Amino acid sequence: MEEVKYAGKLKRYLQAPIYMIGFFVIGNAVMYFYNVKYGVVTSAAIALYFLLVFEGYRYCNNKINEEILDFAAHYGMVQKKLLDDMMIPYALMDDGGKLLWMNQEFAVITGKDRHYRKSITSIFQEITRESLHRSEGDEFCVKVNFNDRIYTAGMRRMNFAENTNMSDNEIVMVADEMNTLIALFLFDETELEYYKEENENQKLVAGLVYIDNYEEVFDSIEEVKKSLLTAIIDRKINKYFQNVNAIVRKLDRDKFFVVIQQSHLKTLEKDKFSILEEIKSTKAGNELEITLSMGFGANGDSYAQNAEFARAAIDLALGRGGSQAVIKDGEDVSYYGIRGKEIEKNTRVKARMKAQALREIMETREDIIIMGHSIADVDSFGAAIGLYCAARELGKNVRIVLNTVTTSLKPLVESFTEQNGYAPDMFIDSETALETADARTLVILVDTNRPSYADCPELLERSDSVVVFDHHRHGNEQVQGPLLSYIEPYASSTCEMIAEVLQYFSDKVDLRPNEADSVYAGILIDTNNFMTKTGVRTFEAAAYLRRCGAEVTRVRKLLREDMGAYKARAEVVRNAEVYRGFFAISIFEAGEIESPTVVGAKAANELLNIVGIKASFVITEYQNKIYISSRSIDEIDVQVIMERLGGGGHLNVAGAQIENSSVEEVKNRIKEILDTLLEEGEIKL
């Protein structure tokens, strides 16, 4: 009984007579001031009142305690009965997760005795002691799996030590050593999760399937065999998708539209879209391999948006050289079947159309600004010079953004001086470009299709008229809404593309020898002296530049490197680590070298000359960024590796730029990616 403490209205009610004695005493004192006789009488009355209150409290105290405790016991029994019979599984734990009490439903679901007093972790592994203490706030939830059912464990922490403010409905408080309890409710969400998963699986995904090289393949076979080859291709495509209950409709001779459930799309992903390799074996008199590109759009807000996602995905696939599948799932993009080599197009129709479109756009603009990627290389510079000549042909005010002149560019840049007849503001920096450009200025981006890689990314936002020329594969990041985009991954270099465009731009674009040298040098560097990624059109572009006055010997002299850079390149090769017997990884410490990224790229090429090396990676830290140059000969797709680092490129030539990382961290990430790709079978040694 002595542990009972009264609270709330009952406490105030029982203490009211005591408070009244205080008022009586004050009144009695005042009475003495006016009349002593009346004061004595009042004092006697107060004394009598005090005796009656004291005796009454003493006589009734035990009875009151018994009645209150009896009420509290019945009240508690009702509450306990309600909790015990409640259909929602309910349990109490201490602050460490030890079970103190559980109701019948909780005991039935868990299969434990109601006197089970072990940790909750022994039943639900997802609820750990660390998760109980790590959870912020008094209420938190944990998803748990138990006996093939899915539950949400809702928990509420109750701290009695801090709960000092009693409500008016509280009658009695019993002292307890337990300051904190955790109440746990189990909500069975198995059916909810099942229907959510079913809803996700039954969402419709839009897809587009294109035959990449339809014209090239069908132009190479006899007329009588064309219908047979068409039937074989159609049958293979229809059979592949009908195996997963897809709807396939032919839109054109080389285009198909596909509708498929999302669950079946996952099946195709696991299969890695085997139709991409299967279709290559299709033969009906054709010598060229047939390749497909596929784009799928999923998880859009509507079917129309899924169709737009599919359109964007197929554009990505085609822009990356074809022979692959791309899935655009909201903002996420996945690539499959990207180990193939880009197929060179024999037709020049596209180059002619792009040249004519470029001329029409240039004719409508007075101011033109050309820029490449940051830390411009020879290919970027040469392409800019080629387009400069095209704009000059139309009499336009044209300038080139060039923030950094590396040692490899300096001999080329020095030939474009006022003494040689060029404007003093031919080359400008980013600040000047932003001051002079407006929405009507035509901005041409060369040798990159990623806005963040541009020499002045803000310039792309300033102008409403943007044109892109590049030979790198599309990535997730793209220039939004360009007036003209000419991206050909099969091309050896952007300079090769520009050389083709110049041939169709007008009857004859006047190229001076130093200008032709600059464009030719870009092809020479990106093909490693015509040793890699060269095709018929590469040599045709070089022949055109030779006719324009490019001199091979003069270009070779311009591209020579100094002794310091040569020694630095040799040091990179000497310090290379051979990882897993086939991959050369080296760290280049720039030191006093002016163009470390160029030296790193050349060193990556040199490492491929070592017997047994299938891919090389050179890591360079420069201007608070980590630059990676990766190269391979033919067996390893280095683009896949660089894409996982946020970069891109081609099958044999790729790179990446990484911020907020150290050289050692990047090196370890490359090793981890190589290990992962080897385990997944993406790289086969």
Q: Same domain for 324 and 375?
A: no
Domain annotation covers residue 312: yes
DSSP string, 173-197: EE--S--EEEEEEEEE-HHHHHHHH
174 has pLDDT over 60: no
Query: What local confidence, expressed as pLDDT, does residue 311 receive?
Result: 92
- Reported as a single tens digit per residue, the pLDDT across 320-357 is 778 889 999 988 888 887 654 555 555 567 788 889 99
Domain annotation covers residue 341: no
64 has pLDDT over 90: no
Query: What local confidence, expressed as pLDDT, does residue 138 receive?
Result: 75
Query: What local confidence, expressed as pLDDT, does residue 519 receive?
Result: 96
Paired tokens of 163: 């709960």
Q: What is the average pLDDT across 458-474? A: 90
Domain count, the chain: 5
**CA–CA gap between residue 318 and residue 106 (Å, rounded):** 57
Length of the chain: 685
Domain annotation covers residue 344: no
116 has pLDDT over 80: yes
Q: What is the average pLDDT across 442-446? A: 96
Query: What local confidence, expressed as pLDDT, does residue 628 receive?
Result: 93
432 has pLDDT over 90: yes
What single DSSP character describes residue 484? E
Domain membership of residue 664 as a residue range:
570-680
Query: What local confidence, expressed as pLDDT, does residue 175 receive?
Result: 37
Domain annotation covers residue 564: no
Domain annotation covers residue 342: no
Q: Same domain for 76 and 94?
A: no
Lowest mean pLDDT of 160-169, 470-479, 554-563, 618-627, name the range: 160-169
Q: Which amino acid is residue 670, in one-letter code?
A: I
Instruction: Mark which of 269, 301, 336 sits at the end of a domain.
Output: 336
Q: Same domain for 118 and 72?
A: no
382 has pLDDT over 90: yes
State the average pLDDT for the chain.
Answer: 85
Lowest mean pLDDT of 3-17, 294-308, 380-394, 442-456, name the range: 3-17
Query: What local confidence, expressed as pLDDT, does residue 2 receive?
Result: 46
CATH number of the domain that 611 lies in? 3.10.310.30
- Using CA atoms, how far residue 113 sits from 99, 103, 105, 371, 384, in Å, is 11, 10, 11, 75, 80
**CA–CA gap between residue 487 and residue 164 (Å, rounded):** 71
What's the pLDDT band for 240 if we cut at 50, 70, 90? very high
Instruction: Mark which of 49, 84, 119 sits at the end of a domain.
Output: 84
Domain annotation covers residue 372: yes
Residue pair 502/390 in contact (Cβ under 8 Å)? The answer is yes
Place of tokens 């020879």: 378
Q: Same domain for 233 and 157?
A: no
Q: Same domain for 438 and 387?
A: yes
168 has pLDDT over 50: no
163 has pLDDT over 80: no
Helices and strands, number each (H, E), in the chain: 23, 25
C-alpha count within 13 angstroms, C-beta hemisphere, residue 155: 26
**CA–CA gap between residue 483 and residue 220 (Å, rounded):** 34
Q: What is the average pLDDT across 546-554? A: 92
Q: Same domain for 426 and 524?
A: yes
460 Cβ partners below 8 Å, 6+ apart? 443, 445, 451, 454, 466, 479
Query: What local confidence, expressed as pLDDT, does residue 169 receive?
Result: 44
Query: What local confidence, expressed as pLDDT, does residue 160 receive?
Result: 63
Query: What local confidence, expressed as pLDDT, does residue 345 receive?
Result: 56
Q: Same domain for 507 and 420?
A: yes
Q: Same domain for 611 and 504?
A: no
- Reported as a single tens digit per residue, the pLDDT across 185-201 is 999 998 888 888 888 88
Q: Which residue has the higher pLDDT, 56 or 227?
A: 227
Paired tokens of 486: 């000419």
Q: Which residue has the higher pLDDT, 123 or 174?
A: 123
- Reported as a single tens digit per residue, the pLDDT across 281-328 is 888 888 888 989 999 999 988 999 999 999 989 988 887 778 889 999
236 has pLDDT over 90: yes
Q: Same domain for 181 and 300?
A: no
Q: Which residue has the higher pLDDT, 584 or 34?
A: 584
43 Cβ partners below 8 Å, 6+ apart? 28
CATH number of the domain that 295 lies in? 3.30.70.270
Domain annotation covers residue 435: yes
Q: CA torsion sign, 572 to 586 to 621 to 448?
A: positive
Domain annotation covers residue 455: yes
Query: What local confidence, expressed as pLDDT, does residue 8 receive?
Result: 56
Q: Same domain for 595 and 620?
A: yes
172 has pLDDT over 50: no
- Reported as a single tens digit per residue, the pLDDT across 244-265 is 999 999 999 999 999 999 999 9
Q: Same domain for 406 and 551?
A: yes
CATH number of the domain that 97 lies in? 3.30.450.20
Lowest mean pLDDT of 17-31, 381-395, 463-477, name the range: 17-31
Query: What local confidence, expressed as pLDDT, does residue 322 receive?
Result: 80
- Percentage of the chain beyond pLDDT 90 is 39
Q: What is the average pLDDT across 516-539? A: 89
Q: What is the average pLDDT across 98-121? A: 88
Query: What local confidence, expressed as pLDDT, does residue 215 receive?
Result: 85
Query: What local confidence, expressed as pLDDT, does residue 1 receive?
Result: 42
Q: Which residue has the higher pLDDT, 75 or 613?
A: 613
Query: What local confidence, expressed as pLDDT, does residue 165 receive?
Result: 47
Instruction: Mark which of 281, 303, 336 sits at the end of a domain.
Output: 336
Q: Same domain for 327 and 222?
A: yes
CATH number of the domain that 460 lies in? 3.90.1640.10
SS3 of the chain: helix, strand, coil, percent, to 5: 45, 20, 35
Q: What is the average pLDDT across 386-413? A: 92
